[in-house]
Chain A
């Protein structure tokens, strides 16, 4: 197969970059959800008599 390495390189680049971006979004979302949860608990504790 001629130029199979070029095809492989192009699709690898697409999948690697997309995967890294999705991974970074998932990480950010997880850490933000955790922080929001902690802040809500903190505020709730403070407002309780």
Chain B
């Protein structure tokens, strides 16, 4: 199982990612209003959705860890949090780079931007807690934070409807309104979603394996010390 995942997932991710890059830079037409910077969206939006998926995974795995108490779920939560943190950082970098030429400012305390920054801070605290407090108790405190932090995800999602905001609400409208109306834009976004989903799964898998090896090394170290 482990070997087949290691053999299939990296080349599949690479292949789809190369396809996504080709579509973003060659295939998709340039947006008439925003110009070339609109192409940032094709990575920014999937990164944001995968951030939600990653932190959602943290919450679910944390609940299972608190319920069952198995180290496997704790590892999944920790690995997904780290990958989610990387993706959330990239969202917070690519967003302002897009905003500068379109909005005329790098950052504004808009509802969606602010709640996304809060999400980043919550999971930064989660990872800091994990690094300073080891053991079962530290893992349990972190799991509680991992569950509570995920409450921010639906708030981010609904923020554009609940508050006055300048952040785009939807990318594709059924009524054919603003957004990605061109089918080539929609298919490019779809491939980018798939690419970042595979990347999320692969990175979480590798980080999880990394933690499993850390645990295995610790057991062997203890055994070696016990024999000495």
- Grouping DSSP codes into helix (H, G, I), strand (E, B) and loop, the A interface class, with mixed when no group exceeds half, is helix
CB atoms of B206 and A29 under 8 A apart: yes
Q: Contacts A17-B86, A36-B217: A29 and B209 contacting too (C-beta < 8 A)?
A: yes
User: Which residues of B, 28-63, contact A by the 8 Å Cβ criterion?
Assistant: 35-37, 39-40, 43-44, 47
A6 partner, pick from B97, B206, B217, B221, beta carbons under 8 A: B97
Q: Contacts A10-B97, A22-B203, A25-B203: A17 and B210 contacting too (C-beta < 8 A)?
A: no
Name 22 A/B residue pairs within 8 A (Cβ), A-sorted.
A3-B36, A3-B37, A3-B101, A6-B101, A7-B37, A7-B40, A10-B94, A11-B40, A13-B94, A17-B86, A17-B89, A25-B210, A35-B217, A36-B213, A36-B216, A36-B217, A36-B220, A39-B217, A40-B220, A43-B227, A46-B224, A46-B227
Q: Which residues of B contact A (CB under 8 A)?
A: 35-37, 39-40, 43-44, 47, 86, 89-90, 93-94, 97-98, 100-101, 199, 203, 206-207, 209-210, 213-214, 216-217, 220-221, 223-224, 227
